[in-house]
Structure 1
Amino acid sequence: MIKTILTSSALAALVLPTLGYAEDASEAADRSDILVLGTRTDEAEVPTQTGSRLGLTILETPASVETLAGDVIRARGDLSIVDAVTRATGISSVANPGNGGTGLAARGFSGQGSVMQLYDGVRLYPGAGTVTFPTDPWTVERIEVLRGPASVLYGQGAIGGAVNVISKKPNSDRTEFEAEAGYGSQNSWRIAAGLGGPVNELIAYRLDISRTQSDGWVDRGNSEGMAISSSVQLRPTDTLTLTLSNDYSDQKPMRYFGTPLIDGELDERNKRRNYNVTDALMRFKDNRTTLRAEWAPSDSVRVRGTAYRLTTHRKWRNLESYFWNGATGKIDRFDFFGIDHDQTQIGAQTDVTLRSYWGGVKNELLVGFDVNGIKFRHSNDFDSDPPPPGFSEPVDPYSFGPGLYYNTFGVRPQYRTQTRQYSLFAEDRLTISDQLSVSAGINFDHANVKRYVTSHGAGGSTTEALRLDKTLHNVTWRVGAVYQPAPAISIYGQYATAVDPLGSLITFSVGQAAFKNTTGDQVEAGVKARFLGGRGLATIAAYRIVKKNLLATVPGSLPPRQDQVGQRSAKGLEASLTLDLAGGFGIEANGTVLDARFDQFLTGGTSFNGKTPPKVPEAAANLWLRYDVTARFQTRLGLRYVGKTWSDNANQFRVPGYAVVDGGISFAMTKNVAANLRVYNLFDKAYATTTYNDEQWLLGRPRSIDVSVSARF
């Protein structure tokens, strides 16, 4: 059946053009509303929010910035934010259940402490290396990606880059409705809808809701999720806009921690086995309320303010680690972990932009502050800190009873933290001439973390003691220039500094407090060109990033002991091309090659000098081809390539690279309703997206077919 569908789809894509099936321009214009036809016109000239707080365009920004439009993300069928953002240049997934399924790698650095997650421009603080919001692309207007250090804009934790998810906002011009319902392989289904528009001249609204469910591609791999995004916008005057938003997410991800290798190889007989227990649990609930105000009393002054409150509740009850034991021919299962996170982030961000002219020279200056208070509570069922290896359960690799979760202590509070953070930032851009501009930025970041440890006594009594009171100060800055020999060509260069925390800022451990934050810097240069009247955009960039004062666990130390040593670096080339041709052809291509290594990394008498850091691919590429057969019929074909990685510092455990082909067709049955067929992993490639332990691979989705009906009015 699958082969029949795929063959029919391929034949349709190839045969219909040769039949001369075409429509005149008026009919095409009338029927193409539901389909995503081409890229956004003059994308390079649209202001972005992520590469600069000044709202510079891609051509004006002396950094690598990329935008993924929400409509294009949904047309491709990307089912998560990670799926969508890893289509961008040089971004790859390191997502696993421990980091909330959102971890990314960029420019030779990986994890929540090096690739920052933002929502509508506001930083999300990882708790114990975990971020669980947002995840559903349905509520997304666009995703902006800044590659390279972003600490000068957003504070510590962004030496590799920053990903900014920008939510849908009310449209005050007209009422819009869109919806999609789909079903596919693994008994997966989705239903989603969005409605928004003006109530009157003063008020506009937007509401989006999405519900998903799947049986998954491993035993007991079921998952479900819900996302709701709502906002109301008030414009009491032409110069003042107020927006109140609430975003809610409830996820029950697939309770799958990976597939253990057998004799160092992926075995066909166990690649769909789930070694977790029957009653495993993972659930992430996030809710964020935001009030935004923007006031522009004149063309030369703009004031923006944002106040927000984010609450997060996470639960894990799992048997997480599985290793092949060659002596017994069994899989040893251990690490029964029950963990709860309760996190509240309350903050405010305000900036003022002043535009002026000095003797015909334009200057834009932005100054602002960001302040946050974060409360975090960690509960677990460990009997000591750090936890022991746990109870090992050997099982047959291919046929076994999953068993039940083993808990002798009960999940109870272990520690809580209070973090107070504020930063002061400034950014300036001087336009010296029509061809040359210079920009600079600086950020002073202050944070204080207090950690209280809970002790449990007889009869359920508890005592709490302050074990950590750590204050950190960081100053980061960048300077860059853009030269435009022609209006559509930009040659740029920049130097930037950055700071990464040791682990997660708000969950500093007592052992980490003895060390200072890691620091880094980057040199980058590149060229950006817009052509074909905005229907083409090409970029190329070269960079080198150095990160110093690494934190490492001393090999063989019991209990595990950490040390701060050496440096690592990454240098590479990135290129991208977006092209929307006449005749309905479209191309989006990008690729990166880099050299990431430990330059000086000697700990406990063991040297890792010259080794590649784990979970960092040194080559990656994406390709999307689009052909609009007619104004009603669109075909798409995509390739995702990720090069090999290592799962350990010593590079003893290699994870092969992979190439996955996706595709789809859409047919507009009317101007407002379309039928869609999407194929994932067309050639049924078995591959690991990342690892959980050295030889425990998290496998990607096998060949799958989804069908859906979408509507837009």
Structure 2
Amino acid sequence: MHHLGSRNCSLSCENPALLLRICDRDRGAYPRRFAPPGAIRRGLKMRPTGLHKSILLAGCSAAAMFASGAALAQDDVIIVTAQKRDESIQDVPLAITALSGDFTREVNLDDVKDLVRYTPGVTGNSADSFIDTLSMRGILTNDFGAGGDPSIGLFKNGLYQGRNGAVVTSLYDMERAEVLRGPQGFLFGRNAIGGAISVHTARPNFDGVSGYIEADVAERNRFFGEGAINMPLSDVFAVRLALYGGHEDGYVDNAYFPDHDPLIEPEKYAGRFSALYSDGPFEAFFTAEYEDRKQSGSVYRATEGGPGYETLVDIFGVSVDGNGRDIDSDLQLGEADDSEILSLGLELTYDLGGAVITSLTGFKDHDYYYAEDFDGTPLGINAYAQDQSGNYFEQELRVVSDTDGPLSWYAGASFYNEEIDVLFTQAADEEVMCQFYWSYYGINSCSDYFAYYYYSFTPTPEGLVESNAVRGRYHGWAAYVDATLAITDQFDIGVGVRYSKDIKKFAISAPPVTSDLGPYFGVGFTTAEPLEDKQSWDAFTPRFIARYRPSDEWTVFASATRGFKSGGFGSFFISPSSVTYCGPFSTDCLGLTNADASPNAFDPEKVWSYEAGVKGSLFGGATRVDANVYYYQYKDLQVNVPGTGGGILVDNVGKVKGWGFEASTNTDLGEYFDLYFAGAYADTDVTNAEPLCDGTLACEGTSLGYVPKFSASAALRFNYPVAEGAIKASAEAFGQTKTYGGLLKPDYAVNDAYVDLSLRLGYASDAGWSVIGYVENVANELYYDGVSEGGNFIPAHYFGPSRPRTFGVLLSYEFGG
């Protein structure tokens, strides 16, 4: 189980309230998206539109400049207010990577998780709707149930996107995407203890009717299209409509069903309507979006090594057919990863003259169904399904000072209310379960086992199917204030504090099991009524920032931040655990009531994170540098550990100390080339994690296995003017060193190091059309989203094989603007 260029302005670094843009670039002989770097440097201009005093949600880093396809000269002043006051992009004292919407289109980034390819310190992409493998500096969401909160927050237009099944949305008609590393409690309405991914969709504008249409055609019958049209309906009101959708055949064969279609077969359709009203000091921005996603659940393949697999070979003579990109699974519950998501957002901004007040309101409703075969073998050991529905409402208010004096400040408050209902199902083959657990005693069938105790066994057609349902009703609120004082023209300090409170009411129930084997293998109990509990958690979390600017070209900063993630409830276990010490022929775990047990509750996570960084330029502004080091002390990790009986317990385990280095550079290599490079080194030290290491101290002092020591990405881009357009080419690569399936780091659960290279070449016309051919994963590199150590019954397995080498062409046409 589970594991900045805009389309209308070349570079944007604004909050949803701000329309400060770098616009009106002199296109000369080149379309906006394909102008050579030198031309961009020479022709770059800036003008404010809309509310010129509105506020940025966050600043942009040097990576933003790479995303727009240009290394900007130091003379080009880009004004942002990441700390809620005007400052150059290179002055922002935060670790942020920003990618433009144009860039995400050009390199085929399909959804928000794909952003990790070009972000230092962030790893763990996966081709499903879960975010439990997504890691920032080693911090991830280990609990895949519905009773906790994500460690990494995902936001769209400033609004929180929620949890597994609802959080992963497609990237289309984007303005930009920002990835903020480290605890984030002062820029968003919800806490994000590990970091945040914030995407911003393209806004309507008043520059006339404009838009684009694009088609991506490739192997495996891939056809994805997207388009948008912008229409100003008056001097103060404009609308925008964007559509996206398509399908691609799968690339993973299942040896168990050789005649079935290949798996990992995405099919997605989405649409977004947005409207902007801007008149004097008042601005309103509204979005309505719907997405229907259908694709395969994660696919698993046993690594064919380790004691778990060897036991299966001894008992069943199991083998796994197919190559490393194939699977061999019985898919007892089928395979699916299907979401329907409706999102509404409204942002209201008013310039009071001395301050700007902003209101953010959001609502999200989703239905989600997921199914996978978790064990990675052709045996019926553990299939998993999740049938989920939920809705989420949020409201945030913030006020930002508009003073030119030495003191600037901002304050805000937010509220959320979430309802979530999930039915979890686990399935297995009855005979497989009986053989595995009792063949040691010479019993090789369920009938023999039951006869030994003078019972008769009646097989169930659907096999051993165990289910449990959870119901979550959560709400909470937060308030924060942050102030920055300029001590001198070169040195300033900032202090902020946030108060958060989360209240969760949770219920878990498990119906009777049809199989004679009972609920003792996957869930471990049944209930006569929902087992309920209600708890709350709160915390004050401060942040301290110091910034020094020794010259116009360089900024040095340091920060200390307290991070907090609310406690919650496990979706597969109950407390006290003693009620689950039972098995077949026992009734002690059946028909439980609130008098017998309650949901499994766990405590909050907390972290102190320290960071120091430098941003600047070299060689007369031709090279931008953005580098930082960090150290954190993390405790009470919310992780899945084996429970008694068949349950999965979420508990607070261990302490982690982490440190590392992250850097990115963007270099103008002359008239036609620019080079972007980003890299990260990460190391961790784990202590007191015995429940994750077979109850021993074998893992004491080891590092987190799923965090690569080194990860990096690079993009070399070329534009050469010819005739009535330009030749465009690029080479993009990302990769990482090896990772492991757990703290024990056995040699049979290793995801080897890899590098994934893509090449693109084409022509862009002055008339607005372009044809770009590409080959992705040029070397046909085979790697995986992750690997697991497995356990007693579940063998070590890989999940999510890489997409193979793919040839395709990207056709686009832009008009107006």
Give TM class, smaller chain.
Answer: 0.7 to 0.9
Is this contact kept in 2: 1:660–1:685, CA < 8 A?
yes
The DSSP-based 3-state class of the residue aligned with 2:538 is strand
Structure 2 CA distance for aligned equivalents of residues 670 and 123 of structure 1: 39
* Most deviating of 438-447 and 370-379: 438-447
Change (3 A) 1:76 1:160: same
Q: What is the percentage of aligned positions where both structures have the same residue?
A: 19
Is this contact kept in 2: 1:35–1:674, CA < 8 A?
no
* Most deviating of 242-251 and 31-40: 31-40
Structure 2 CA distance for aligned equivalents of residues 90 and 458 of structure 1: 45
User: 1:602: how far off?
Assistant: 3.2
Tell me the number of residue pairs that the alignment of Structure 1 and Structure 2 aligns.
655
Aligned to 1:11: none
Query: Which residue of the other structure, out of 234, 240, 243, is the alignment partner of 2:277?
Result: 234
Structure 1 CA distance for aligned equivalents of residues 735 and 538 of structure 2: 40
The DSSP-based 3-state class of the residue aligned with 2:32 is coil
User: 1:239: how far off?
Assistant: 0.6
Aligned to 1:671: 767
Confirm or deny that 1:427 pairs with 2:482.
Answer: yes
Aligned to 1:636: 730
Structure 1 CA distance for aligned equivalents of residues 172 and 785 of structure 2: 23
Is this contact kept in 2: 1:417–1:507, CA < 8 A?
no
Is this contact kept in 2: 1:203–1:232, CA < 8 A?
yes
User: 1:65: how far off?
Assistant: 1.3
Confirm or deny that 1:442 pairs with 2:529.
Answer: no
Query: Which residue of the other structure, out of 375, 383, 395, is the alignment partner of 1:336?
Result: 383
Structure 2 CA distance for aligned equivalents of residues 463 and 133 of structure 1: 33
Structure 2 CA distance for aligned equivalents of residues 579 and 596 of structure 1: 31
Is this contact kept in 2: 1:611–1:651, CA < 8 A?
no
Instruction: State TM-score, norm by structure 2.
Output: 0.74
The DSSP-based 3-state class of the residue aligned with 1:82 is helix
User: 1:481: how far off?
Assistant: 1.0
Confirm or deny that 1:547 pairs with 2:546.
Answer: no
* Most deviating of 70-79 and 307-316: 70-79
Is this contact kept in 2: 1:47–1:58, CA < 8 A?
yes
Structure 2 CA distance for aligned equivalents of residues 169 and 450 of structure 1: 38
User: 1:499: how far off?
Assistant: 1.5
Is this contact kept in 2: 1:336–1:406, CA < 8 A?
no
Root-mean-square deviation over aligned CA pairs: 3.4
Change (3 A) 1:27 1:105: closer
* Aligned-partner residue type, residue 317 of structure 1: A
* Most deviating of 105-114 and 479-488: 105-114
* Most deviating of 283-292 and 312-321: 312-321
Aligned to 2:139: 109
Aligned to 2:218: 184
Structure 2 CA distance for aligned equivalents of residues 59 and 669 of structure 1: 33
Change (3 A) 1:489 1:624: same
Structure 2 CA distance for aligned equivalents of residues 625 and 197 of structure 1: 35
* Aligned-partner residue type, residue 274 of structure 2: S
The DSSP-based 3-state class of the residue aligned with 2:90 is coil
Confirm or deny that 1:312 pairs with 2:406.
Answer: no
User: 1:563: how far off?
Assistant: 4.8
Confirm or deny that 1:84 pairs with 2:115.
Answer: yes
Structure 1 CA distance for aligned equivalents of residues 73 and 511 of structure 2: 58
Change (3 A) 1:553 1:173: closer
Change (3 A) 1:666 1:289: same
Structure 1 CA distance for aligned equivalents of residues 461 and 188 of structure 2: 42
Confirm or deny that 1:158 pairs with 2:192.
Answer: yes
Unaligned 5+ residue runs, structure 1? Answer: 1-25, 324-330, 395-404
* Aligned-partner residue type, residue 74 of structure 1: R
The DSSP-based 3-state class of the residue aligned with 1:85 is helix
* Most deviating of 253-262 and 636-645: 253-262
Is this contact kept in 1: 2:113–2:168, CA < 8 A?
no
Is this contact kept in 1: 2:570–2:650, CA < 8 A?
no
Is this contact kept in 1: 2:36–2:673, CA < 8 A?
no
Confirm or deny that 1:69 pairs with 2:116.
Answer: no
Confirm or deny that 1:261 pairs with 2:303.
Answer: yes
Change (3 A) 1:712 1:472: same
User: 1:523: how far off?
Assistant: 1.2
* Aligned-partner residue type, residue 122 of structure 1: L
Confirm or deny that 1:569 pairs with 2:657.
Answer: yes
Aligned to 2:813: 711
Instruction: State TM-score, norm by structure 1.
Output: 0.84
Which has the greater radius of gyration? 2
The DSSP-based 3-state class of the residue aligned with 1:205 is strand
Confirm or deny that 1:468 pairs with 2:567.
Answer: no
Q: Deviations over 1:421-473 (max 9, x none)?
A: 101111222223331121122111111100123465899xx975451101010
Confirm or deny that 1:303 pairs with 2:357.
Answer: yes
Aligned to 1:659: 755
Answer 1 or 2: which has greater strand percent: 1
Structure 2 CA distance for aligned equivalents of residues 464 and 104 of structure 1: 36
* Aligned-partner residue type, residue 800 of structure 2: L
User: 1:149: how far off?
Assistant: 1.4
The DSSP-based 3-state class of the residue aligned with 2:352 is strand
Structure 1 CA distance for aligned equivalents of residues 220 and 366 of structure 2: 29
Aligned to 1:648: 742
Aligned to 2:786: 690
Matches within 5 A, 1:124-523: 124-126=161-163, 130-154=164-188, 158-219=192-253, 220-221=262-263, 222-235=265-278, 237-263=279-305, 269-273=323-327, 275=329, 277=331, 279-298=334-353, 300-323=354-377, 331-356=378-403, 361-382=405-426, 392=432, 407=462, 414-454=469-509, 456=511, 465=530, 467-502=532-567, 511=575, 514-523=601-610
Q: Deviations over 1:173-193 (max 9, x none)?
A: 332211111211222111111
Is this contact kept in 2: 1:110–1:615, CA < 8 A?
no
Is this contact kept in 1: 2:430–2:463, CA < 8 A?
no
User: 1:613: how far off?
Assistant: 1.8
The DSSP-based 3-state class of the residue aligned with 2:375 is strand
Q: Deviations over 1:379-412 (max 9, x none)?
A: 1345xxxx88977599xxxxxxxxxx98569998
Structure 1 CA distance for aligned equivalents of residues 223 and 619 of structure 2: 40
Is this contact kept in 2: 1:285–1:312, CA < 8 A?
yes
Structure 2 CA distance for aligned equivalents of residues 36 and 594 of structure 1: 36
* Aligned-partner residue type, residue 613 of structure 2: G
User: 1:590: how far off?
Assistant: 0.6
User: 1:307: how far off?
Assistant: 0.9
Change (3 A) 1:600 1:32: same
User: 1:515: how far off?
Assistant: 3.7
Change (3 A) 1:259 1:106: same
Structure 2 CA distance for aligned equivalents of residues 202 and 332 of structure 1: 63
Is this contact kept in 2: 1:46–1:57, CA < 8 A?
yes
Confirm or deny that 1:588 pairs with 2:676.
Answer: yes
Aligned to 1:680: 776
Structure 2 CA distance for aligned equivalents of residues 509 and 446 of structure 1: 25
Change (3 A) 1:605 1:463: closer
Structure 2 CA distance for aligned equivalents of residues 167 and 641 of structure 1: 28
The DSSP-based 3-state class of the residue aligned with 2:707 is coil
Change (3 A) 1:613 1:500: farther
Is this contact kept in 2: 1:335–1:391, CA < 8 A?
no
Q: Deviations over 1:48-105 (max 9, x none)?
A: 68x65668654333221121111112112223322233211121124254x5368421
Is this contact kept in 2: 1:344–1:375, CA < 8 A?
yes
Q: Deviations over 1:106-127 (max 9, x none)?
A: 112223732221222222332x
Is this contact kept in 2: 1:156–1:500, CA < 8 A?
no
Confirm or deny that 1:701 pairs with 2:803.
Answer: yes
User: 1:311: how far off?
Assistant: 0.7
Change (3 A) 1:316 1:554: closer
Is this contact kept in 2: 1:260–1:322, CA < 8 A?
yes
* Aligned-partner residue type, residue 114 of structure 1: S
Is this contact kept in 2: 1:261–1:697, CA < 8 A?
no
Change (3 A) 1:248 1:391: farther
Confirm or deny that 1:613 pairs with 2:704.
Answer: yes
